[in-house]
Amino acid sequence: MHVLIAGAGLGGLTLAQNLRKRGISYEIFERDEHKDARFQGWAIALHTITDELVASMPSDMPDLRQATDHMSPLKIPTQICLYPAESIVRVGWEDCPETPFIRAERYRLRNHLATNIPIQWGKRVQRIEHDDQGVAVYFEDGTTAKGDILVGADGVKSVVRQELLQKSHDEVLKIIPLAAIVGELKLSGEAFKRQLQLSHGSYSLIDSEKGYLTFCSLHDVTPDGKSARYYWIMSRSDPTIVDPDHWLHKATQQEKLEHAREVMSNREPKFREIFDLTPVEGIKKETHIWRDLELSSLPAGRVVLMGDAAHVMTPFRGE
């Protein structure tokens, strides 16, 4: 049995580790030229699956928490909190022995999952062929790989899915009616400490009257523990986001930042601070349109899909 994996993201690499542990022959192909070719995102919460994930990995893996925890080198328990506008209490979760959870910095997590995995870089899947005898994958660089099973772990815009279903992305991907503004910033000293007082990690500001949910989170901490990168995503339900004339598609970074500050203007200063300290250049220029996908079934055969290729996990669903 020889398994071909298309895509060395979180899903493909997790599968590769599982196959490595079981001594099953595999190859894994990634379109990017190297591991630093693309921004890997901010942080991802690992909670109920953590024990199973670790148990499914080979024994030579470094410790998952030590390798990926976005709070490192600070030794404080990670928290996820909610601050509803109409309430003075905060609710949430804290990492503890009874309910352990890790917020993993995504770049570190991908590197961790790549431990002892011989990723074949610069291999963009272009086309596949499959029949009773086996499966062949054709890459953009003109090379081919052959195997018994192909796993499409090539993300939301999966070429493997497109080839398998013979359907375009637009035919299967649904638009999530969400308008979002994204900001990034670096915080040091007292401002960083004040964010940690709001939450050791991440918190959501909910304003049901204005219809906004804003997720603010630590990305990672500098090695000296004195500064940190943060990001926030301010979103509201808005089916008109697909309209190319939607104001967010045309807004400048300054206009988006001013809008975010205006939305937060009725909140206490401690909640406004992260927006006040965000520099204009920290606002994402492009307005992302989130996509969703749920396939009810796949054709039986030698090609399967996993991860976002099969069922997109939006950040909000993930948390």
Under the binding rule (CB under 6 A), the answer on residue 12 touching ligand FAD is yes
Name the one range near ligand FAD by CB under 6 A: 23-31, 65-73, 142-150, 213-221: 23-31
Interatomic CA distance for residues 316 and 263, integer angstroms: 20
Sheet holding 134-139, edge to edge: 125-131, 134-139, 144-147
Q: Which of 184, 255, 273, 319 binds ligand FAD (CB under 6 A)?
A: 319
Output 270 or 285, the one with its CB closest to ligand FAD: 285
d(CA 125, CA 152): 10
Q: Which of 20, 31, 65, 229 binds ligand FAD (CB under 6 A)?
A: 31
Is 10 an interacting residue with respect to ligand FAD (CB under 6 A)? Answer: yes
Stretch touching ligand FAD by CB under 6 A, among 75-83, 240-248, 251-259, 306-314: 306-314
Among 4, 9, 204, 275, binds ligand FAD (CB under 6 A): 9
Pick 10 or 274: Cβ nearer ligand FAD: 10
Interface of this chain with ligand FAD, residues 227 to 286, rule: CB under 6 A: none
Is 201 an interacting residue with respect to ligand FAD (CB under 6 A)?
no
- In the numeric block, which tokens belong to residue 264? 């937060």
CA distance 233 to 236: 10
Single residue of 3, 4, 16, 45 touching ligand FAD by CB under 6 A? 45
For residue 26, list its beta bridge partners: 3
Residue number with CB closer to ligand FAD (125 or 176): 125
Q: Under the criterion CB under 6 A, does residue 183 sit at the interface with ligand FAD?
A: no
With 0-12 / 13-18 / 19 or more C-beta atoms within 10 angstroms meaning exposed / middle / buried, residue 216 is: buried
Shortest distance, position 266 Cβ to ligand FAD, whole Å? 27
- Kindly state the smallest distance separating residue 159's Cβ from ligand FAD, in Å: 4
Cβ-proximal residues to 154 (8 Å cutoff; 6+ apart), any chain: 6, 7, 9, 12, 31, 125, 160, 161, 309
The smaller minimum CB distance to ligand FAD, of residues 120 and 227, is found at 120
DSSP lists the bridge partners of residue 129 as 136
Number of residues binding to ligand FAD, judged by CB under 6 A: 27
Lay out the site mask for ligand FAD across 149-178 (x = CB under 6 A, - = otherwise): ----xxx---x-------------------
Q: How far is the CB of 134 from ligand FAD (least distance, A)?
A: 19
Residue 72-111 contact track with ligand FAD, rule CB under 6 A, x = bound: ----------------------------------------
Q: Does 32 bind ligand FAD (CB under 6 A)?
A: yes
* Binding site residues, ligand FAD, CB under 6 A: 6-12, 29-32, 41, 44-45, 124-125, 153-155, 159, 307-309, 313, 315, 318-319
